[in-house]
Amino acid sequence: MQHRPAAEGKSNRQAVRYAFYRVSPEWRRLDSAAKDSGKKEFAAVIGEHTDRMMIRTYSLTATRGDADFMLWTVANSLNDFQSLYTGLANTGMGRYAAIPYSYFAMTRRSIYIDKHSHEGQEGARLKIRPGDGKYLFVYPFVKSREWYALPIADRQRMMDEHIAVGHKYSGIRINTSYSFGLDDQEFVVAFEGDSPSEFLDLVMELRDSQASRYTIRDTPSFTAAAMPLEQLLAAL
């Protein structure tokens, strides 16, 4: 069995969830007063939790047919998630909303970054530090068992190539979180950026990397536009 370094800072890790909401057609047929009341309740629950966890809101109405908006939430305790999402489900709007996609993960130090350490190295962070990108590109990620059976030196060599490609696209910022044993995927990756075309070019180039051949699944993929909560709810 290959040696793995002891996990660092377990108590400092954060929990991460990407929850994708779809509002039912019945909601859109309600009268304006009922919809406004439901939106205010939904916003109030989010407001009650922003002092203890990170909550960012994104619209998907222009890019997906099966989800209207997304909440990117980060907390130090799962109890905060329980409180937030239970509260949202019990609002007037929440009762008309489903979550067709949900990805849960935690932060962890990457085992591949020691050769690439520099200030702000994403893989070394146990705390999510989001930027101000106009878009967030999110997808779950699963590698094959053959990948984990490779010698660590071979995996490191392929990840060196992978990391080098990523550094060429300076306008794209990655946030990696880990789901081993916690959810159906192994990783959830979220790329921040202002240019969907730059992200498209990055992903196309990564398809040519050696590490890509060991990918089993990296879908569904979401292009989410950052949007203030008030504006997002108004658009619904």
Active site residues: 139
35, 42 in Cβ contact below 8 A?
A: no
Match 């406004």 to its residue by tokens. 36
Is omega for the bond preceding 130 within 30 degrees of 0, making it cis?
A: no
143, 212 in Cβ contact below 8 A?
A: no
Among 111, 80, 59, 110, CA closest to 232? 59
Question: Cα separation of 203 and 206, whole Å?
Answer: 5
Question: Cα separation of 73 and 80, whole Å?
Answer: 10
